[in-house]
Amino acid sequence: MGKHEVKAESGKRKAEMRRAVFLDRDGVINRALEKESKPYPPTSLAEFEILPEVPAACAKLKAAGFLLVVATNQPDVGRGTLKQEVVEKIHAHMLAQLPIDRVEVCFHAGKGLSDCDCRKPKPGMLLRAARELGIDLAQSWMVGDRWRDVDCGHAADCKTIFIDRGYAEELKQKPDFSARNLGEAADIILAQTNK
C-alpha cells in the first residue's frame, strides 16, 4: 500500500468517528436524593425517578446523530453501603426507558480508599467509551450537575454543560455552558452543533 492510500484510509477513519453526549446519571437523568443541599444516588429501583424532560431530550439528541453514554460514579458500591446488583437493576430499568447506547460506571470507593483512572473527575470512563465506540471527544459533550463532571469533561477535551441544581458545592473549573436541566442542555448542544 502506497503513502497516499494510508493517508486516505486515516482520513476516512476520522470522518467515521462519532459524536457523543456523555451524561452524568444522578441529578441529570434521574432525581438525586438531597440531604443538606448535597446530592445522593437512589438506593433502590423504587427511589429511581427519571426526570420529566429527559426522554424528549434524549430523543432529540439521538435524532441529531449523537451517541448517548451515561458516565456515573457509584462509590457506595465500593464502600459497601449499596449492592452492585441494585445499581445494575436501576441501569437495566433506565436502558429500557431511554435510548442510551452505553453505561460506564466507576464502582470504586474514592475518598482516598481507591486509586483508579475511571472515577470522575478523571476522564477514564469517557476515554474508554471513546476508544471502544469510535467517538471524537472534541466533537462531544459532557453534561453533569457537579464539579467532577465539568472537570472530567474538560480532561477528556469535551465541551461541558453544568446543570445547576443549587447544591452546596463550588465548581473548580468553569463549564462551557450552564443549564437548568437536560432539556435546556439538549437545546444548547443542538444550537451549537447547527452553527
Helix/strand/coil (H, E, C) string of 40-53?
A: ECCCCHHHCCECCC
pLDDT score of 15 = 54
pLDDT tens column, 52-92:
999 999 999 999 999 999 999 999 999 999 999 999 999 99
Q: Pick the catalytic residue: 24, 76, 145, 149? A: 24
Percent of the chain topping pLDDT 90: 85
Q: pLDDT averaged over the chain?
A: 92
Eight-class DSSP state of 138: G
pLDDT score of 111 = 81
Cα 20-33-103 angle, rounded to 5 deg: 25
Contact of 55 with 95, CB cutoff 8 Å: no
CA distance 168 to 39: 9
Average of per-residue pLDDT across 97-126 = 94
Angle between helices 124-133 and 147-155 in degrees, nearest 10: 50
101 is catalytic: no
pLDDT score of 112 = 79
CA distance 189 to 183: 10
Using CB atoms within 10 A of its CB, is residue 87 exposed (0-12), middle (13-18) or buried (19+)? Answer: buried
The C-alpha cell at 166 is 443549587
187 is catalytic: no
For residue 38, pLDDT beyond 60: yes
Q: Pick the catalytic residue: 26, 76, 145, 149? A: 26
pLDDT score of 195 = 80
For residue 163, pLDDT beyond 90: yes
pLDDT score of 134 = 97
Pure H helices in the chain: 3-16, 54-63, 75-78, 84-97, 124-133, 147-155, 182-193
Average of per-residue pLDDT across 173-186 = 98
pLDDT tier, 10 (very low <50, low <70, confident <90, very high otherwise):
very low
Q: How many other CB atoms sit within 10 Å of the CB of residue 65? A: 9
Average of per-residue pLDDT across 135-141 = 98
In terms of pTM, does the model score above 0.75?
yes
For residue 8, pLDDT beyond 60: no
pLDDT score of 93 = 98
Structural domains of the chain ordered from first start:
17-193 (3.40.50.1000)
